[in-house]
Amino acid sequence: MHNELLIACHECDVLHRIGRVPEGDSAICRRCGAVLFSHKKDSLDRSLALTLAGLLLFIIANAYPLLEIKLEGLYQATNLFGGVKVLYSGGYWEIALLVLCTAILFPFLELLIKLYILLPMKLNRRPWKMISLLNFLETIKPWGMMEVFMLGILVSVVKLLKMMTVIPGHSLYAFFVLIFVMAAGTASFDTHEIWEKAGDS
């Protein structure tokens, strides 16, 4: 079955009916020459592999200490949720909620939604409520700010090094790698291929 998509050019707004585009090729606007979309090579397999890797890294990042602090015989370790608890206990509940959503909740939901969509697609099945989930994914994606949270952690570590011994935990390394894995997953996630496969299922 040959499916066509109706796409508006983001440069000149001309509507196009686009059929299947071979892997690695792009659809070009007939009026202005702008790229309408690119069909990424092996998008489904790469996105699924990166999503599974991201979920594993996310579990590690939340299961182990983020930082270990030593000061005059005292020792303290904390993980991501521990940082949120400290902010909440200190009366900064707005910041605690922001960190919880942008650094933990939204990235986790993004990974779960992608896995829920990609796994059935790999088996040539259309996921239930796929359209709603794709729309929700586009809504929460800009709010995933793990890189900003990581930058804040690094700045804090540099300042704390002047006063005490700070030992990076396994979680910090996993969190750092997770940022790059999720960025690669976003780059490889091809919604056009998903719509094509959904039309065939």
Position 55 scores a pLDDT of 94
Distance CA 171, CA 176 (A): 8
Nearest by Cα to 173 from 145, 158, 154, 148: 154
Distance CA 73, CA 123 (A): 55
pLDDT above 90 as % of the chain: 11
| Tens of pLDDT, residues 81-97 | 777 887 788 787 888 88
| Tens of pLDDT, residues 129-144 | 888 888 888 888 777 7
Nearest by Cα to 81 from 55, 53, 59: 59
pTM exceeding 0.85: no
Residue with tokens 């939901």: 109
| Tens of pLDDT, residues 136-167 | 888 887 777 777 767 776 676 676 666 667 67
Q: Tell me the domain boundaries of the chain.
A: 1-39, 42-200
pLDDT above 70 as % of the chain: 76
Position 14 scores a pLDDT of 78
For residue 119, the one-letter residue type is L
Position 1 scores a pLDDT of 41
